[in-house]
Chains A and B, each alone.
Chain A
Amino acid sequence: MSDAPRPWNLVAELTYRCPLRCAYCSNPVGWRRVPERLDAPAWARVLGEAAELGVVHVGLTGGEPTLRDDLEAIVTAATRAGLHPHLVTAGTTLARSRLETLATCGLRSVQVSLQDVTAEASDAVAGRAFFEHKLACARDVRSLGLHLTLNVVLHRGNLGRVREIVALARAMGADRLELANVQLHGWALRNRVALLPARVQIESAAQVAREERRAAARPEIVFVLPDHFSGRPKPCMGGWGARTIVVDPSGRVLPCHGAAELANLAFWSVPERPLRACWSDAPGMNAFRGESWMQEPCRTCPERGHDFGGCRCQAFALAGDAAATDPACDRSALHGVVVDAVREAEDSASPALLYRDATSAT
């Protein structure tokens, strides 16, 4: 075995199926070609092996993980393995009675995604009418005494409502609010002009977040300046294959949820091999560990130790080379691509959103 770092988190993508069609969905664009190959006993095996590797948290996510009718067995397996199970749901299909059962299986915390503060605006992004279901689900989480995180993806269309979003989170009794500036990968990249905000929107939202943090201790508010505007690349996943294991619905072991779409990287799968081997020894996993893969300017950059050259998927998408410096970095020779994208979005009226699974021709 190589000297791979200790993983702390496992992201268990239980299914890519989802009743929503969010225009910035982070699942692979080619999700339909990924078969669901892991049943509950297979997941139980993966979770046990993850605990042996040092994993502490498991995020049960998707797609919509509650579409699996064996979720109870998977939560039970996580608890038995000594992991902290955390459910990441859109909250559209989770009845209170089922949530109660999941809590007795050991579920301790739930993240519910919200798209906006009104049904109309929320449905416009999600492509389906589920806003009230989501609020009801979040209320159920709190009333069962579980830890509640609300996650709202921020973009051009809702950045002006951060204050209202915080107020809603506070009214719901959320413990944590993640204000997640949209990441421009996959589906979101196709909607870049419609989603990319103006700089002034980002700045005033950041100010609101600061003020609201000062106003009350709860919820804990997470707001990170997005890489397209900060000039600094994001320290994606805390480093490639450094802290987090992603297992997709087919059992493929990845360093992040987008890595499967990078060309020419070989990843291994848990049905065929132990998790430890998939994490430590798969060629794809080792492709960008450490620093030897780096090119200039990353190779000699003083910041390479904490931003790791940025996001490999973004480098692949924008520079055509997954080993290139992330063009979000203002030291990248290709940073102009990002600057131009921001300018193009600023100068354009918002085009209509293209929902997940819509054909790109429309």
Chain B
Amino acid sequence: MSGAFERRLRTVLAERYHDRHPFNLRMHAGTLTPTELRTWVRNRYYYQTRIPIKDGIILAKAEAPEFRRAWVRRIHDHDGEHAGEGGLAQWLALAEAVGLDRGEVESLRLVLPGVRDACDDYVRLVTSSGLLESVAASLTEMSAATIMAERIAAFERHYPWVSEQGLRYFRSRTILARRDAEGGLRFVLENARTAAEQDRCVRVLERKCEILWRLLDAVEAASARPRLASAANLRSDAVSDADLVVLPERAVRLNSAGREILGLCDGAQSCEQIAAALRARHPEAEGVESDVHAFLGHMLRLGVLEAAP
């Protein structure tokens, strides 16, 4: 019975883990531009910062000292025993190795709204789930060792400009992920006894995979080059000062900020470049990048914009 359950968990990972995401495939195939790679590193850092927080939440759900003793190691792994050590510090070293400013990454100022939503959903998922399901959500680590090994090889081969210092996180996770995954899987297999419990574990692991997938969706979207959709007609409104985008099924009224952003959507500049251009025009405004990405995402969903091929 538990053999069938374990197979179900592994099937979820085989079918839905983000190693199959087009952005990850491109990363490993070596076709990401340096800008795309930086976007990923900067945004994935937000996910890294959520890990010790969700592990703290899981700790607080556990009654058994032996569980807490084992699980608390995960927090140490990410935060280190001392400042400058641990997984978060290693990720910041990666950020510097790909050419990012450490302070900017740490400030989380340029984290994409879609990435923030996905990572916050993970913390919420763990917060609202029981101990068993929370641990089941972490089982994506069963696939982490493999993806890390592939990543190291891909970086060495395709992105040689990233120094060895930057790869330390991947190297240490290859070992730690295996240890964590084994512990987590054992706990889930021992504690999910009823069919209902097993179903819940499978569902929560699916949702976790979905969260990781959404993170890469958002990162990928940042490098899309938006332009006015072919079905969209931009014109001035007959009865107000606004501009309208008229689509077959809806009309969207643009305020002056919307008009300014849409004016930069020429199919040549990426969402990130557009956000940077608006930041340069409005150096004092708060949260420009995040607002621009949220607006562009919304317009893409509404069909006002489409991504240029």
Q: CB within 8 Å of B: which residues of A?
A: 6, 8, 51-54, 56-57, 82, 84, 86, 108-109, 147, 149, 175-176, 220
Cβ-defined contact, B237 with A84, below 8 A: no
> B239 contacts A84, CB within 8 Å?
no
Check if B222 is an interface residue, CB within 8 A of chain A: no
Determine which of A6, A82, A86 lies in contact with B248 in the assembled complex, contact meaning CB atoms within 8 Å.
A86
User: Can you report 20 residue pairs joining A to B where beta carbons are below 8 Å apart?
Assistant: A6-B239, A8-B251, A52-B239, A53-B239, A54-B238, A56-B246, A56-B251, A82-B235, A84-B233, A84-B246, A84-B248, A108-B231, A109-B231, A109-B248, A147-B231, A147-B248, A149-B248, A175-B231, A175-B248, A220-B249
Give Cα distance in the complex from A103 to B240, angstroms: 29
| B265-309 CB contacts (< 8 Å) to partner A | 303
B244 adjacent to chain A (CB < 8 Å): yes
Which chain A residue lies CB-closest to B233?
A84
Chain A residues within an 8 Å CB radius of B251: 8, 56-57
Minimum CB–CB distance from B213 to chain A (whole Å) comes to: 11
Tell me the minimal C-beta distance from B171 to chain A in angstroms. Answer: 36
Please name the 6 residue pairs, one residue from A and one from B, whose CB atoms are nearest each other, closest first: A109-B248, A147-B248, A54-B239, A56-B251, A84-B246, A147-B231
A218 to B237, CA, bound (A): 29
The reply to whether B249 and A82 form a contact with Cβ atoms under 8 Å apart is no
Closest chain A residue to B251, Cβ basis = A56
The B interface is mostly helix, strand or loop, or mixed, namely: loop
On whether the beta carbons of B239 and A82 are closer than 8 Å, the reply is: no
Q: Which residues of A contact B233 (CB under 8 A)?
A: 84
Shortest A188–chain B CB gap in Å is 24
* Complex interface residues of chain B between 218 and 258 (CB less than 8 A to chain A): 231, 233, 235, 237-240, 244, 246, 248-249, 251
For residue A176, which residues in chain B have a CB less than 8 angstroms away from its CB? Answer: 248-249
Q: What total of chain B residues lie within 8 Å of the partner, measured CB to CB? A: 13
Q: Which residue of B lies closest to A51 (CB)?
A: B238
Chain B residues closer than 8 Å to A8, beta-carbon distance: 251
**Closest chain B CB from A213 CB (angstroms):** 12
- Complex Cα distance A109/B229, Å? 15
CB distance from A173 to the nearest CB of B (A): 14
Quick one: given A51-B238, A149-B249, A176-B249, are A56 and B244 in contact (CB under 8 Å)?
A: yes
In the complex, A53→B249 CA distance in Å?
A: 19
A176 vs B247: C-alpha distance in the bound complex, in angstroms? 12
CB nearest to A176 among chain B residues:
B249
Chain B, Cβ-Cβ closest to A8: B251
Residues of B within 8 A of A109 (CB): 231, 248-249
Q: Among the listed A52, A108, A220, which residue makes an inter-chain contact with B238, where contact means beta carbons less than 8 Å apart? A: A52
Report how far A133 CA is from B240 CA in the complex, Å: 43
Give the chain B neighbours of A175 by CB distance below 8 A: 231, 248
Q: Find the A residue at minimum CB distance from B250.
A: A57
Are B238 and A82 neighbours in the complex by a CB distance under 8 Å? yes
A53 closest partner in B (C-beta): B239
- Nearest to A109 among chain B residues (CB) is B248
CA distance A223 to B50 in the complex (A): 35
Contacts of B246 in A (CB 8 A): 56-57, 84
Nearest CB to that of A83 among chain B residues?
B246
Q: Which of B64-105 contact A (CB under 8 A)?
A: none
CB distance from A300 to the nearest CB of B (A): 32
Q: CB-CB < 8 A to A51: which residues of B?
A: 238
- The minimal Cβ–Cβ distance linking B260 to chain A, given in whole angstroms, is 22
Chain B residues with Cβ below 8 Å from A82 are 235, 238
Q: State in angstroms the CA–CA spacing of A258 and B173 once bound together.
A: 65
- Point out the residues of chain A lying under 8 angstroms from B237, CB to CB: 54
Q: Which residues of A contact B244 (CB under 8 A)?
A: 56
Specify which chain B residues have a CB less than 8 angstroms from the CB of A52 in the assembled complex: 238-239
Supplied contacts A56-B251, A108-B248, 6 more A-B pairs, CB within 8 Å: A52-B239, A108-B231, A109-B248, A149-B248, A149-B249, A176-B248
* Chain A contacts for B240, CB-based, 8 A: 54
Q: With a CB–CB cut-off of 8 A, which chain B residues contact A149?
A: 248-249
Contacts of B239 in A (CB 8 A): 6, 52-54
Interface centre among A53, A56, A176 (most CB of B within 10 A): A56
Q: Looking across the interface, which residue of chain A has its beta carbon closest to that of B210?
A: A214
Q: Which residues of chain B come closer than 8 Å to A56, judged between CB atoms?
A: 244, 246, 251
A84 to B235, CA, bound (A): 12
Residue of B nearest to A86 (CB): B248
Give the residues in chain B near A84, CB-CB below 8 Å: 233, 246, 248
Q: Nearest residue in B to A54 (C-beta to C-beta)?
A: B239
- Least CB distance from A56 to B in Å reads 4
Question: What's the nearest-Cβ distance from chain B to residue A119, in Å?
Answer: 28
A86 — which chain B residues lie within 8 A by C-beta? 248
B122 to chain A, nearest CB (A): 18
> How far does the alpha carbon of A149 sit from the alpha carbon of B303 in the complex, in Å?
14
Complex interface: chain A residues within 8 A of B303 (CB): 220
Task: Determine the distance from Cα of A149 to Cα of B250 in the docked complex, in whole angstroms.
Answer: 13
Counting chain A CB atoms within 10 Å of each CB, which of B233, B240, B244, B249 scores highest?
A: B249
CB closest residue in chain B, given A81: B238
Q: Which of B244, B246, B248, B303 has the most CB of A within 10 A?
A: B248
Q: List, in ascending order, chain A residues with CB within 8 A of B238's CB.
A: 51-52, 54, 82
- Tell me the complex Cα distance, A261–B231, Å: 37
CB distance from B211 to the nearest CB of A (A): 14
